[in-house]
Structure 1
Amino acid sequence: MESHVKAGAQLIDRTVLILDLVANSRGEGVTLKDLCEWTGLNKATCHRILSSLVGHALLSKADKGRRYRLGTKLLVYGAKAANGPGLRSQFQPALQRLRDATGETAVLMARDQDDSVCIDRRDGECLVQTLTGSIGGSVPLGVGPGSLAMLSFFDEPERIAVVERNVARFGAYAALNETRVKELVMETAAQGYALDRGELIVGVSGISVPIAAVESGPLASLGLTFLAARLTPQLIEEYVGLLRAEVERIQPHLNPLDRNLASPGRM
């Protein structure tokens, strides 16, 4: 009996590992060969797990069946989890107020290890391109105002470590490298908010402020995304004020021990 329990737990561990690896592929998908190399599983075992996950819509096939991506059922699970207690539910009214007051796209980002994940948003009157694309999309910490609003206020050792781990990933963004990210971190820390003047997506700007639980470091950010042509010193002042007012309204009630704040998947 005990051996069956151990075998079952091992199978679950392998399945979760495969899901994690596919999720980290950033939408490109991974091949059976890749997964066998990364997990150490033999081809037959790995293929059996993948086939089961595809059958349950937890994974899907792409590139004529050669690659595996996350499946649609995970979107359903994520949406159901997000409706529970946690950061997302607490900031939903704030997102709507910001959208109504400005007409801009309001975005809530949260930290997931070395990434910044969009956990909710309200699209503005003018649809604009964003770095994360939609709810569930992510970027490396250090890329874009939403992630800079968190990264810039980490303790120095943690901030340095995150940047070092993400350096190789910055190359995917034409305007970024390690030096530029460090400059943006210093700028953000000095002014208290993150600002993108259209450096990453031509014609699109963004402003974000950090969100921190009581006696805890930044765990999320609240921001607005809009057309860069509208950017003026007056607009920056207005939007930063609105964002800070919403954060100050909710931030004192965030409990750092609340496990719902520990992972975007549970927000």
Structure 2
Amino acid sequence: MKRNVIRRKVLELRPGADIESDPRDGGVQSVDRALSIIETLAEDDEGYRLTDLAVRTGLSTSTVHRLLATLEKRRFVHFDRHESKWHVGAQSFSVGATFARRRNFTAQAMPYLRKLRDQTRETANLAVVDDEAIIVLTRIESREIMRSLTKVGGRVAMVASGVGKAVLATYSDEDVNAIICRQGMPRLTEKSIVRPGELFRELEAVRRRGYAIDDEEARIGLRCIAAVVYNDCSEPLAAISVSGMTSRITDERLPVLGCIVRAVAAELTVVLGGVMPQVGEAVG
């Protein structure tokens, strides 16, 4: 199924940056270009044709083809000869899976994600903060009709996601302001929060409730309810959430689902050796 993805801007090339005869092209520059190709391929499950990939990365077709040939030999990319499209390869998955394995709590969290899915009948997600963005580690899909917003391994802005706001609510206002300055507040839908004052009011509500809500802020028609899983220092280790269509996650269900997500997050915190923060404990 075709996904709506946030397209990255085409790389702005410096004069002469993509000249084939440049003898320096065999070093760091080639590594950077190869990684940009893999990142671009990861944006769309349907893959890219060579010319489209060149446009998306801002590189010449000859440079892209040369790098793809090397990446294909190492199985980091795969070429579908029937559709003449390039895709992410098996080796990219193998390397990327190390990230999830390093988060050794992922396997322990799976029974709680299943519990969350079964109690809510919605898709359950586990996510962490990585470089001031939310990355989805794993999920248990709902048995209902569902349009996943972010695939496993996908990234989303903290201010535009339920799990992101759940984590931000544990930060000080100073730290939140710093993230806003560095990352901005993208308008993904007409319901996205794009003003700092509105975000701070929302984070205060998250602290009172114990769970965060993404109310169609990342995609119209989808809602998400999230709560933090804490480590042994009462700091955010991860966040879990349920996500589903607004036709199922109605205004009436929000408080019920919020209590379920909050309770399961507290259970998982204890299982992982974490400590829930004391009520009224200072943020940051």
Structure 1 and Structure 2 fold alike (TM over 0.5): yes
TM-score (norm 1): 0.69
User: What secondary structure does 1:27 align onto?
Assistant: coil
Query: Gaps spanning 5+ residues in structure 2: where?
Result: 1-25, 275-284
Partner of 2:176: 159
Q: Aligned partner of 2:209: which letter?
A: Q
1:178 corresponds to which of 173, 194, 198: 194
1:226 corresponds to which of 244, 249, 257: 244
Q: Give the stretch that moved more between structures: 68-77 or 202-211.
A: 68-77
User: What secondary structure does 1:142 align onto?
Assistant: helix
Q: How far apart, in 2, do the equivalents of 1:15 and 1:151 lie?
A: 36
Matches within 5 A, 1:177-216: 177-179=193-195, 180-215=198-233
Q: CA deviation at 1:61?
A: 7.0
User: What secondary structure does 1:214 align onto?
Assistant: coil
1:117-148 per-residue CA deviation (whole Å, 9 max, x = no partner) reads: 1111111121322321x211221111121221
Q: CA deviation at 1:198?
A: 3.3
Q: How far apart, in 1, do the equivalents of 2:105 and 2:120 lie?
A: 22
Distance 1:23 1:241, change over 3 A: farther
User: What secondary structure does 1:205 align onto?
Assistant: strand
User: What secondary structure does 2:160 align onto?
Assistant: coil
Q: How far apart, in 2, do the equivalents of 1:85 and 1:34 lie?
A: 31
1:141 corresponds to which of 155, 158, 173: 158
1:90 aligns with 2:108: yes
Distance 1:70 1:181, change over 3 A: farther
Partner of 1:108: 126
Q: How far apart, in 2, do the equivalents of 1:184 and 1:20 lie?
A: 37
Partners of 1:116 and 1:146 within 8 A in 2: yes
Tell which has more relative contact order, 1 or 2 (C-alpha 8 A, sep 6+): 1
Q: Aligned partner of 1:154: which letter?
A: Y
Q: Aligned partner of 2:228: which letter?
A: P
Query: Gaps spanning 5+ residues in structure 1: where?
Result: 1-10, 37-42, 257-267
User: What secondary structure does 2:124 align onto?
Assistant: strand
Q: CA deviation at 1:102?
A: 2.2
Q: Aligned partner of 2:156: which letter?
A: V
Partners of 2:223 and 2:246 within 8 A in 1: yes
* Larger helix percent: 1
Q: Give the stretch that moved more between structures: 183-192 or 210-219.
A: 183-192
Partner of 1:263: none
1:187-209 per-residue CA deviation (whole Å, 9 max, x = no partner) reads: 32343211123344333221100
Q: How far apart, in 2, do the equivalents of 1:98 and 1:53 lie?
A: 39
Q: How far apart, in 2, do the equivalents of 1:226 and 1:55 lie?
A: 40
Q: CA deviation at 1:86?
A: 1.2
1:27 corresponds to which of 39, 43, 47: 43
Q: CA deviation at 1:101?
A: 2.0
Identity of aligned residues (%): 20
Q: How far apart, in 2, do the equivalents of 1:178 and 1:88 lie?
A: 32
User: What secondary structure does 2:69 align onto?
Assistant: helix
Q: CA deviation at 1:162?
A: 1.5
Partner of 1:244: 262
Q: Aligned partner of 2:141: which letter?
A: D
Partner of 1:264: none
Partner of 2:96: 78
What is the root-mean-square deviation of aligned Cα atoms in Å?
A: 3.7
Partners of 2:211 and 2:262 within 8 A in 1: no
User: What secondary structure does 2:247 align onto?
Assistant: helix
1:22-80 per-residue CA deviation (whole Å, 9 max, x = no partner) reads: 465572786499577xxxxxx97x97655322322214579x99x98743422244346
1:54 corresponds to which of 64, 69, 72: 72
Partners of 1:32 and 1:47 within 8 A in 2: no
Q: Give the stretch that moved more between structures: 27-36 or 199-208.
A: 27-36
Distance 1:80 1:161, change over 3 A: closer
Q: How far apart, in 1, do the equivalents of 2:37 and 2:89 lie?
A: 10
Partners of 2:160 and 2:193 within 8 A in 1: no
Q: Aligned partner of 1:135: which letter?
A: V
Distance 1:78 1:164, change over 3 A: same
Distance 1:95 1:194, change over 3 A: same
Q: How far apart, in 2, do the equivalents of 1:213 and 1:202 lie?
A: 33
